[in-house]
Structure 1
């Protein structure tokens, strides 16, 4: 994988308009509802909603209230650990993407996998795919596209010993923050994917197995999910 992939994806039918529409919706929501209403508590709520949605996509049966009470299952607990420290990696991910991805896995996998496996690629092929993904994070391309590609590739590559889905979805949110599209992390991309779950599960496998057609379908799905992510923002509650 190389940053040239992003250029090719942007040339596909419907991709520029879908991404632009999603970006406009996010910008409008942040401008119209975020003005004078943004607090650290709103960001914390967005992160918690994202942790819950990501955990459900990973197989958790815990409710959002369970997460609020700290009584969620192991998957939910891992997702909460990850979300609680996610924003600390925003300065890191554009400087050293591999370091940030490793930290995400360390947070998610703590206590679940052997210490020597935390943050480490499973094998040489996984390490190579992570290295190839690094330049994509900082490429000159729309933030939504970069986030979507990072998410899909981390899911497809399964580079770590565990929790790859949680890491992939956290990395997507992290890219949106670090690239400045959603600096206060108020949209909930994980909830956007959960709202479109059948398409989400089909499309990321299409990215993995379906060649260029699969990549095209994934990016269009991601644009739809980002629209739903804006609708899931806690800014709509205030």
Structure 2
């Protein structure tokens, strides 16, 4: 099938992107070939979901230790608890929404946000509970502003930095600009009317691709675009980061790169730190070739770090430690 009809296909040819795609494919294939995956794949999937949810919650303002997330059963007491609970609910159901995603991505996005919002009656503050019940599952309306995407500044893990991403790209002085100010500053969220139009365009693109009428762009590129577009639009009043990262995971499953959902890219995003995340997203929002390439490469590196996390889980299982 010709790739010329796929609007995302040119992104796969941007500087550094073919290398990112190849490295991700190699890393994912290696993980899927691990001997533990032959016998205990469902356990690896469950652990990846838990670790991915913990990481996504951290990026959204609730940076809890993994064992605390594993231990807790009540996530209604405060804002951080609700964020962790939202991430866990989304993670638990995301893989079950594939059939709907193939025909109605917007319905899935609404469902993900509804899951994140949870039960409004569990919110102690009556005003907050009322707002949650009226806003759950619907895009924000005119005059409504979204919550901050990056409420916490998470430092990059020791020995992990965005340098490998930049190494894949041409120097900043070459043709094209990253389009960002260098400090990761993001423009205000688009107005509700623009959000609605761009969501419709995104949904139409995804449905057409998944129906087989188009093809061309690798799964990493498509997932990065969905992830970046949802973060740029911030379509809901809250939980936009959780929804965007879950949508990326669904794309990776639906397009066959990670069908068992064992590669928690959210873990990699935490390891790279929020400063690098924000700056890469600013590149996506800029719309420049170099900015888009940097964003795709950042998502690719995060996915490879997620593969590393699950590889460590497999090794621990093989040694009988899990």
CA displacement at 1:34 relative to structure 2: 4.9
Higher percent of residues as helix = 1
Q: 1:11 aligns to what?
A: 13
User: 1:67–1:80: 8 Å Cα contact kept in structure 2?
Assistant: no
Q: Does 1:91 align with 2:99?
A: yes
Which runs of no fewer than 5 residues in structure 1 stay unpaired?
A: none
Q: 2:230 aligns to what?
A: 154
Q: 2:277 aligns to what?
A: 200
Which runs of no fewer than 5 residues in structure 2 stay unpaired?
A: 76-80, 121-128, 141-191, 210-214, 318-322
TM-score by structure 1 length? Answer: 0.91
User: 1:136–1:146: 8 Å Cα contact kept in structure 2?
Assistant: no
User: 2:16–2:293: 8 Å Cα contact kept in structure 1?
Assistant: no
In structure 1, distance between residues paired with 2:35 and 2:249: 20
Large movers: runs of 4+ above 6 Å: none
CA displacement at 1:64 relative to structure 2: 1.1
User: 1:42–1:186: 8 Å Cα contact kept in structure 2?
Assistant: yes
Superposed CA RMSD in Å reads 1.9
CA displacement at 1:4 relative to structure 2: 4.8
In structure 2, distance between residues paired with 1:162 and 1:154: 12
In structure 2, distance between residues paired with 1:8 and 1:195: 29
The 3-state SS of whatever aligns with 1:85 is helix
Q: 2:309 aligns to what?
A: 232
User: 1:34–1:235: 8 Å Cα contact kept in structure 2?
Assistant: yes
Q: 2:135 aligns to what?
A: 117
Q: 1:202 to 1:120 in 2, by over 3 A?
A: same
CA displacement at 1:185 relative to structure 2: 0.8
> For residues 32-72 of structure 1, what are the alpha-carbon distances to aligned partners after superposition, in whole Å with 9 as ceiling and x for unaligned?
34541334332111101000000111111322112111256
User: 2:220–2:296: 8 Å Cα contact kept in structure 1?
Assistant: no
Please identify the structure whose Cα radius of gyration is greater.
2
Q: How does 1:22-101 map to 2 (within 5 A)?
A: 22-70=24-72, 73-101=81-109
Q: 2:292 aligns to what?
A: 215
Q: 1:190 aligns to what?
A: 266
TM-score by structure 2 length? Answer: 0.69
> For residues 7-37 of structure 1, what are the alpha-carbon distances to aligned partners after superposition, in whole Å with 9 as ceiling and x for unaligned?
2211211211211111111012112345413
Q: Does 1:107 align with 2:115?
A: yes
